[in-house]
Structure 1
Amino acid sequence: QLLPADADRVLWVRESGLAPEVLAEYAGALDGACPGRWDVLELNGGEALKCWDAMPHLFDTFQAHGLTRSSLVLTCGGGALSDAVGLAAAVWKRGLRVAHMPTTTLAMVDAAWGGKTGINWRGSKNQLGTFTLPEFVHLDARWLVTLPDRERRAGLAEVAKHAMLHAHLGQVHLESWPAWDTSPDALEAWTTKLEKSAQSKIAVVDADLHERGARAQLNLGHTVGHAVEAHFGRTAHPWLHGEAVALGLRFVLFQAMDRAPEACLFLDRWLETHVPLPNTPLAQWPDAESLWSHMTHDKKNVADQVVDVAWYGWGKAKWPVMLEKSTFEATWARFVRSMEEAGQN
């Protein structure tokens, strides 16, 4: 029912390994909506897809299936897949229509919404991309049943971020987060809660699509988070995006402790419980110098200045905050010591 009535073809680009019974249900829906006018491309998802080398295969597939600007590319996977396929669709014939059926917690609550597409370039996150709003985003928590537990939990970092930024969500939204259960009632509850988180992002995007003002606050925790992700992405044991963002948020909370102590303590415990960090020894965590080298390539920067978001309590964020390297180095060192004293690794 969500498909554009005038779509001449639909290409369903989906990740491998999704729940067969849910796939069959949506295949039936496509048969009913556009019989004989849809095709499937199955890909392996994950960060490896977010590279320029993945683009030619997507372009060749679009051409082979005769996609036009009246066609629809329907993604079905995690945030990396919607980012990469969304970029390919945005530039093919100067813009195909795209829609998303996210299958990971992270994509459901954040990555599928807001129109950002992107791939990485020379080790830096999301250096190539567009702002291209999807035709629609359809959430169904049943996709999470086959998602590895680590990935399902990692996406909850974005849930915490939205609660931090929007006072109408706040602590209540996190305290009432449903326990994981594969029963129909529990999955419906997860769908409802994920939609509520996502709606808070939509309101911000509607007011500032191209991230020139208020939308930049949605990068809370991501300046350090992206640097952490890039650092471990070059190792034998990469961190997931949500895990890196969770660490970035906990660094934000460390800096805000004097401003909002009760909220910071609650959030730090919530993140520790719901988004456990990989068991990488602290001795192998990146030092401030390594992180700073990645942060200087952050897409939010202005000229040579590293720009970040500061947090002052539920619904209270400040942007832009200009970072000084020496201050960051000293604060990061104190933060890592505090994690060590708290028993992290």
Structure 2
Amino acid sequence: MSIVPVSLGARSYDVRIETGLLDRAGEALAPYASGRPFLVVTDTNVAAAQWPRLAAALEGAGLRAELVTLPAGEATKDWKHLESLTDRMIAHGIERADHVVAFGGGVIGDLVGFAAAILKRGCRFIQIPTTLLAQVDSSVGGKTAINSRAGKNLIGAFHQPSLVLIDPATLDTLGRRDVAAGYAEVVKYGLIDDADFFAWCEANGAALLAGDPEARSHAIAKSVAAKAAIVAEDEREITGRRALLNLGHTFGHALEAETGFSDRLLHGEGVAAGMALAFAYSARRGECPPEDAARVRDHLRAMALPASLADAGIDASGATLVAHMLHDKKMSAGTLPFLLARGIGQTWLAKDVDLADVSAFLDESR
């Protein structure tokens, strides 16, 4: 087992990573039991594919559980499902010291985490992520949220989990598209500040997508350790260090908004296209070698990920996409910071970007 600590003082917790861990989850969850059944929240896909394993593990440890199953998909991250979930938590008798279990991908983790953050002014939760994207990114760091009509993750809170359990074997039931979407967040860590890891991705990405267990375990552990280190430095994006984790997200969220946060463009696919656009825009500004931007684009495409507006099926004008960006939660004093690059492994936060220039760039990119 790999154990990655997230060091946040009184809010510290461990991320445990091991193939087959789901079958022993009862042992890991036993110290967090309150005497009442655990409330386990999942979606329809995970309930069918993975719940029997978790249920057996809980039963084997003498633990009881009540399952709440929500619709799969990004549309579940909304007010309606948040209200429904908090009502279920209240009916279940959740107290502030109790732990709710988020068992699923990023949508379930974000929704359950936010519900835990606001119920009775804060109760506790545990993450058991079942998608690659959630395992390497959204389950770690305490960002929780729902979407609004104006944009993605605009309503939320920082609320750290008490424990994260990651079993790479849960990825075996996912389709290739979902694994590839999660892989975009793996590549991100190389592009931020670890050129050697990006080179590892170029050499091993195909094996990871094909199901190689060693490649998957290494990528997950490396990604979680990278994120944990950044979160420990800047938990709430105050110093700007944590903002580096948003590479590709400003462009990507605009693309997701244009597709109505639907399955037309998965979150990881939006991030992939967004990272390629960020590198292309950096090259256009003369700050990034064009060959680095091309290398990023080519690798993403080799992994069946979109690396341009056309790849993502987007034909909106630059002005339309920039209008989506104006709802970005990172807006400050009318300025939107952008994650740009001076090269692979050299991401930086630019606070002087002219949105009119971004609009022109996007029009050119069409």
Helix, strand or coil: the match of 1:12? strand
Report the CA distance between 1:312 and its aligned residue. Answer: 1.2
Which residue number corresponds to residue 48 of structure 1? 75
From the superposition, tell whether residues 232 and 21 of structure 1 become closer, same or farther in structure 2 (CA, over 3 Å): closer
Spell out, residue by residue over 1:286-330, the C-alpha distance to the aligned partner (whole angstroms, 9 max, x if none): 211111111111111112112211111233222143321221122
Measure, in 2, the Cα distance between the counterparts of 1:2 and 1:325. 48
Q: CA, structure 1 residues 287+188, in 2 after alignment: closer, same or farther (shift >3 Å)?
A: same
Deviations 1:85-127 (A, max 9, x none): 1101111111111111111121111111110000111231111
Task: Show structure 1 runs of 4+ deviating over 4 A.
Answer: 19-22, 278-284
Identical residues among aligned pairs (%): 34
Q: Deviations over 1:257-277 (max 9, x none)?
A: 452344332221111111433
> What residue number does 1:340 align with?
none
Query: Which TM-score applies when normalising by structure 2?
Result: 0.83
Alignment of 1:301 with 2:328, yes or no, is no
Q: Work out whether residues 186 and 219 of structure 2, in 8 Å CA contact, stay in contact via their aligned partners in 1.
A: no
Matches of 2:279 and 2:157 in 1, distance apart?
Answer: 31
RMSD between aligned alpha carbons? 2.4
Among candidates 251, 257, 277, match of residue 306 of structure 2: 277
- Among residues 100, 105, 115, which one is paired with 2:142 in the alignment? 115
Number of the residue aligned with 1:323: 353
Change (3 A) 1:188 1:39: farther
Aligned residue number for residue 240 of structure 1: 266
User: Offset at 1:181?
Assistant: 4.0
Name the SS of the counterpart of 1:83 in structure 2.
Answer: helix
Q: Render the CA deviation track for 1:54-90: whole Å, top value 9, x for unaligned.
A: 1221111112211112211111111011111110111
Any residues of structure 2 matched to 1:218-233 within 5 Å, and which? 218-233=245-260
Equivalent in the alignment of 2:29: 3
For residues 222-257 of structure 1, what are the alpha-carbon distances to aligned partners after superposition, in whole Å with 9 as ceiling and x for unaligned? Answer: 11110110011178x731111111111111121234
The CA distance in 1 between the partners of 2:213 and 2:71, in whole Å, is 25
Residue 279 of structure 1: how far off its partner (Å): 11
Deviation at 1:173, TM superposition (A): 3.7
Cα distance between partner residues in 1 of 2:244 and 2:56: 40
Secondary structure at 2:165's aligned position in 1?
A: coil
Output the amino acid matched with 2:257: A
Q: 2:364 aligns with which of 313, 334, 345?
A: 334
Deviation at 1:20, TM superposition (A): 5.6
- 1:70-89 alignment, distance < 5 Å: 70-89=97-116
Equivalent pairs, count:
331
C-alpha separation in 2, matches of 1:195 and 1:280: 31
Checking the alignment, whether the CA contact within 8 Å between 1:154 and 1:275 is kept in structure 2 is no
Aligned-partner Cα distance in 2 for 1:133–1:65: 22
Checking the alignment, whether the CA contact within 8 Å between 1:114 and 1:205 is kept in structure 2 is yes
Mapped pair 1:104 → 2:131: yes
Q: 2-side partners of 1:34 and 1:56: how far apart?
A: 31
Q: Residue 39 of structure 2 contacts residue 100 of structure 2 at CA under 8 Å; is this kept in 1?
A: yes
Please list, as runs of the form range in 1=range in 2, the aligned pairs for 1:98-177 lying within 5 A after superposition: 98-167=125-194, 169-177=197-205
Q: 1:169 to 1:189 in 2, by over 3 A?
A: closer
Match of 2:227 among 201, 207, 223: 201
Structure 1 pair 159–234 and aligned structure 2 pair: CA distance change class (3 A): closer
- SS of the residue corresponding to residue 276 of structure 1 reads coil
| 2:21 alignment counterpart | none
C-alpha distance in 2 between matches for 1:267 and 1:200: 20
TM-score, reference length from structure 1: 0.88
Q: Which moved more, 1:26-35 or 1:99-108?
A: 26-35
Q: What is the DSSP-based 3-state SS (H/G/I as helix, E as strand, rest coil) of the residue aligned with 2:29?
A: coil
Point out where structure 2 has 5 or more consecutive residues left out of the alignment: 1-26
